[in-house]
Structure 1
Amino acid sequence: MAPAILQTVESNWTRPYRPGIGRWLVIVWEAAALALFAWATIRQFDLTGHHVTLVGCTMAALWVVGAHRILQMGAYVGVTGLRIHGLLRSRTMHWREVAHVRLHKATHRVGPWEIESGMTVLIDRHDGSTINTELWAQGVDFHSRPGVFRAVYHELRTRHQKATS
């Protein structure tokens, strides 16, 4: 079944965890950053009148769209599959397309140093591709709640095993 058809068949997606307070901190931070950007734009170009209103409304619209996407980010489970909402795009896949749900120890190289950034959940598909999830042990949802991160990981594995057995 194609992802578009899956969306019409099942519309009951649930996120197996409550988002962390860190999301609201990110949203407030983004509001402040966009306000500063709007102020700098208005000052830089000596805007007045309707131009100021246009810049303000544009920044407010960007903030609303961005805040909505930030609040929706995460992994959602359903009877037939898994949906990953990212900041810019979402992916929906059937459980039968998923080969493994696994933990990955993420590291980043900076010159000769390797910096650990914590555990993430990855989805390996049968076609050989790997899907990054928004589930990161040090992220805004799980930073101070490691037990919740482990519970979500186990929930995804359990749902996958039940659906494919």
Structure 2
Amino acid sequence: MGSYWVRPYPPGTGRWIVIAWEAAALLFLAWATIRQFDLIGHGVRALAGSLAAIWAVGAWRIIQHGVYVSRDGVLIRGLVRSRTMSWRDIAGVRLHHTIHRLGRWELQRDMTVVIERNDGATVGTELWAQGVDFHARPKLFRAVYQEIRNRHRAAGEKKA
């Protein structure tokens, strides 16, 4: 799949908040580690360099995180791994109503986009109606869902 990947939505401002939050958490970790182990000189520089590298990789993955489409298929980029599927391997794209339970309580009800494969398996996407990209933009969530469905439908029509 050597085609051009496009994320059909702009990243939300929540991503930048998460990146800033992670930077603050790593700064606190560095401060606590330096104080706990009485680090000086090279130890401080090694710790700072290591945590900066971890933050840079994490921030890059957070920025790249999401669902991308092309004429050939769909690419799901998570924080740790990415997954590519061609349109011919996908049976359908649907919304899934999620309910999180903790004992007797229902914590969250929300919609996510799920990809159904031809072999009967389902693949969860990074698209969540209340996530950092769509929390304040519910119309955009529906538009992205429709865009992915339309691309899948168009790929199916092209095959026939």
Q: Is TM > 0.5 for Structure 1 vs Structure 2?
A: yes
Off by >3 Å, runs of 4+ in structure 1? none
Percentage of pairs with the same residue: 60
SS in 1 for 2:136: coil
Q: CA deviation at 1:126?
A: 1.0
Hey, what's the Cα distance between the residues in 1 that align with 2:138 and 2:91?
25
- Structure 1 residue 84: Cα displacement: 0.5
Consecutive unaligned residues in structure 1, runs of 5 or more: 1-5
The amino acid of 2:48's aligned partner reads: G
In 2, Cα distance between equivalents of 1:17 and 1:42: 41
| 1:72-117 residue CA offsets vs partner (Å, 9 max, x unmatched) | 0111000010000001000001001111111011111101112224
Query: Could you say what secondary structure the match of 1:156 adopts?
Result: helix
Aligned length: 157
Residue pair 1:81, 1:93 contacting (<8 A) in 2 also: yes
Q: 1:153 aligns with which of 120, 145, 150?
A: 145
Could you say which residue in structure 2 is the equivalent of 1:43?
35
Structure 2 unaligned blocks of 5 or more:
none
Contact map agreement 1:117 1:138 (CA 8 A) in 2? no
Q: Give secondary structure in 2 for the equivalent of 1:131.
A: strand
Tell me the residue number matched to 1:77.
69
SS of match in other structure, 1:135: strand
- Inter-partner Cα distance in structure 2 for 1:64 and 1:128: 38
Q: TM-score, normalized by length of structure 1? A: 0.92
Residue 24 of structure 1 pairs with residue 16 of structure 2? yes
CA distance in 1, matches of 2:111, 2:104: 21
User: RMSD across aligned C-alpha pairs, in angstroms?
Assistant: 0.9
CA–CA distance in 1 between the matches of 2:25 and 2:120? 39
Q: 8 Å contact 1:122–1:133 — kept in the other structure?
A: yes
Matched with 1:133 is 125
Q: Which moved more, 1:121-130 or 1:144-153?
A: 121-130
Alpha carbons 1:108, 1:116 under 8 Å: kept:
yes
Please name the residue that 1:64 is paired with.
Answer: 56
With structure 2 as the length reference, what TM-score do the two structures score? Answer: 0.95
